[in-house]
Structure 1
């Protein structure tokens, strides 16, 4: 029997057909009260800027260990070899390839009583130029 339990949202019209209530209550809202407040971000930097390492205060970050050898000097030809393939920091340059090349050159160097790490730290700034 369809008239025994009508749902609250339907009424039976005289022909026994269900119809929805046509009068719905529409409330007026103040849209200013419903909108979220605008919150400003504390840090306005872009993602690219956030990913860049801070450089302020790190100008002298590479510290070369003391060299105790009396007759150690870097030859001009070695500096030229390192500077011939400098890394400029351009988008199309591969920093990993630059480090591999630098390691290849400096791994062949041997000086008595001088750590290879000291030589690399001393030479590396000469392998960089520009934005790098």
Structure 2
């Protein structure tokens, strides 16, 4: 487990959670420590079940819940932000494309009207000079 790059060292390992000194936090486990044998895990579990008081269990539950929520919220925030960015990027590209097309069409229309009017005025002016 200690070689896993996703391993969060802020979450206690069993040797930290189920230590003989339940009221004091255990020292952090070394990264290169070998995993405990199944029997040792069973012994730790049995001692915790037999010896821990209700407040100790409540404290463990609260700490684990806080750590899990903190990790989940960080991941949810990251995923949500990434998806929003991706969605907004697509929406903005489409909106800008549509807006640019509307502006282009409006400019074409306006320029055409201006040119037609200017040509009509010039022709009219030339015709009055001819008479």
TM band (smaller chain)? under 0.3
Higher share of residues assigned helix: 2
Higher share of residues assigned strand: 1
| Higher relative contact order structure (alpha carbons within 8 Å, sequence separation ≥ 6) | 1
- TM, length-normalised to structure 1: 0.23
- TM, length-normalised to structure 2: 0.23
